[in-house]
Amino acid sequence: MVFNLYSKSVDGYYTGSCLDFTERFQRHLDKTYFDSYTRKASDWILYLAINGLGYKQVRKIEKHIKSMKSRRYIENLKKYPEMVASLIEKYGAGSSR
């Protein structure tokens, strides 16, 4: 799963990936990750989730979203589901990108 969290208090997004979102999300809320951006706030909510992907696909999509370094891009992913579909197709299971 690739996910985006949003915090109103820092007015920012965090992009990550995991196999078990419930556990990973709780670790972010508990501030388990010492050097993580998510330590800056306690009000993170799930903003966007992209499920049903293979491990390599998840990692490629996460890397792509982070490389965009764009708040607007993340917001558009939620607003325009066809953008998510395009990423899934672009970084499909057999993709070498």
Q: What percentage of the chain reaches a pLDDT higher than 70?
A: 95
* Secondary structure (DSSP) of 5-33: EEETTTTEEEEEE-S-HHHHHHHHHTT-S
- Flag whether pLDDT at 97 surpasses 70: no
Task: State residue 95's pLDDT score.
Answer: 65
Angstrom distance (rounded) from CA 51 to CA 66? 17
What are the φ/ψ torsions at residue 17 (nearest 5 degrees)?
A: -145, 155
Whether the Cβ atoms of residue 24 and residue 15 lie closer than 8 Å to each other: no
Q: What is the mean pLDDT of the chain?
A: 94
pLDDT tens across 56-69, in order? 999 999 999 999 99
> What domains lie within the chain, and their CATH numbers?
2-90 (3.40.1440)
Please identify which residue in the block is written with the tokens 């709780």. 26
What are the φ/ψ torsions at residue 21 (nearest 5 degrees)?
A: -65, -40
Confidence of residue 87 (pLDDT cuts 50, 70, 90): very high
